[in-house]
């Protein structure tokens, strides 16, 4: 999996940074794109990225403030023109459906693909054979949610020595064993997957939080995650301002990452008072003094998510 930040600014876009949207690109068999939030200008940012709207499968909305959703109607309308004809599901808090349906109806926009809208108030919002997505309410001026994306454990690698003992050669039988199927050899002997597979590979965990000030939901959502994406709207010298506006500081984001034992903290959602990378550097230094494996979200840069990579580098 790869993360791609399409917008990292809070409130309004600037010449340097767009408002919030995060892409999660699935590799391997799924070959899909998930989006988390869709601020104004997201589709334009996608045009400048390696991401493809034709691959967009799901959109998860953290909350309904404009800097997180104003790009949604335009993106939904334009998706078909960029090859997107497969079904698309939008997950979000109550009010998401009314916002989308009303906008599309009033603008007389017609979609030539199936659009599903799932409203939730936390808990498990999606699950299939490969992933489970859980959500919990955070603490913001309106209902805002964080998402925990867990890749389910995958089968271990085939043991070539054990396969050779059974006289097995590369072919369709390998795939059946990887899928967990038992096979029968010409000799009548049966081979179980556990006979030739190594230990299961632990899936990756990514936690993406919406706007929030410190609250009890953060650490459980982020516990032992490979990557935590946490807002850091202000430096800690503005902690009173952050609290008043229901946001977090860079220090508070780092404290959450340390408490949750995550692998990597990526801070985003920066106040417009920080004009450029030079002015953001103190936020990074402040966070790294508490949680060393911290980085600032950088727009238009792919970040690979590799299980265990970040924890071993701390």
Q: Which residue has the tokens 């939901």?
A: 217
CA 111 vs. chain centroid, Å, equals 25
Q: Which two tokens stand for residue 70?
A: 């104003």
Reported as type and span, the H/E element at residue 262 is none
What residue spans of the chain are helical by DSSP H? Answer: 42-47, 66-69, 72-79, 96-106, 160-165, 172-178, 193-196, 218-222, 239-244, 250-260, 277-288, 309-312
The neighbour count for residue 309, using CB atoms within 10 Å, is 14
The CA distance from 103 to 120, in Å, is: 20
What is the spatial distance between Cα 66 and Cα 175, in angstroms, rounded to a whole number?
A: 47
Determine which one of 28, 37, 67, 216 is catalytic. 67
Instruction: Determine the Cα–Cα distance for residues 49 and 47; give it in Å rounded to an integer.
Output: 6
First to last CA, the chain: 21
**CA gyration radius for the chain?**
22
Active site residue 195: no
Backbone angles phi, psi at 259, to 5 degrees: -65, -35
Which tokens hold the place of 10? Answer: 């809070």
d(CA 145, CA 211): 8
Active site residues: 67
């Amino acid at each position: 999996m790869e993360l791609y930040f399409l917008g990292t600014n809070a409130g309004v876009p600037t010449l340097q940074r767009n408002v919030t949207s995060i892409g999660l690109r699935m590799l391997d068999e799924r070959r899909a794109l998930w989006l988390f939030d869709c601020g104004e200008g997201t589709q334009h940012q996608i045009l400048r990225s390696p991401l493809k709207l034709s691959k967009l499968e799901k959109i998860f909305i953290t909350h309904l403030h404009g800097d997180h959703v104003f790009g949604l109607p335009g993106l939904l309308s334009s998706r078909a023109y960029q090859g997107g004809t497969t079904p698309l599901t939008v997950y979000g808090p109550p009010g998401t459906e009314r916002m989308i349906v009303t906008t599309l109806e009033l603008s007389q926009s017609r979609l030539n693909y199936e659009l599903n809208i799932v409203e939730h108030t936390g808990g498990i919002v999606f699950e299939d054979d490969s992933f489970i997505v859980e959500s919990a309410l955070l603490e913001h001026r309106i209902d805002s949610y964080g998402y925990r994306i867990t890749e389910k454990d995958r089968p271990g690698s085939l043991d070539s020595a054990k396969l050779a003992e059974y006289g097995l050669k590369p072919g369709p039988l390998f795939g059946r064993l990887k899928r967990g199927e038992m096979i029968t050899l010409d000799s009548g002997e049966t081979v179980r997957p556990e006979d030739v597979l190594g230990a299961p590979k632990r899936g990756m965990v990514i936690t993406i939080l919406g706007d929030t000030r410190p609250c009890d939901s953060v650490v459980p959502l982020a516990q032992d995650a490979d990557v935590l994406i946490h807002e850091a709207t202000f430096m800690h010298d503005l902690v009173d301002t952050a609290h008043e506006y229901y946001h977090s500081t860079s220090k508070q984001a780092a404290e959450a990452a340390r408490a949750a034992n995550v692998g990597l903290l990526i801070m985003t959602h920066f106040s417009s008072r920080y004009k450029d990378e030079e002015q953001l550097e103190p936020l990074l230094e402040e966070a790294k003094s508490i949680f060393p494996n911290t980085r600032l979200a950088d727009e238009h840069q792919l970040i690979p998510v590799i299980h265990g990579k970040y924890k071993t580098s701390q």
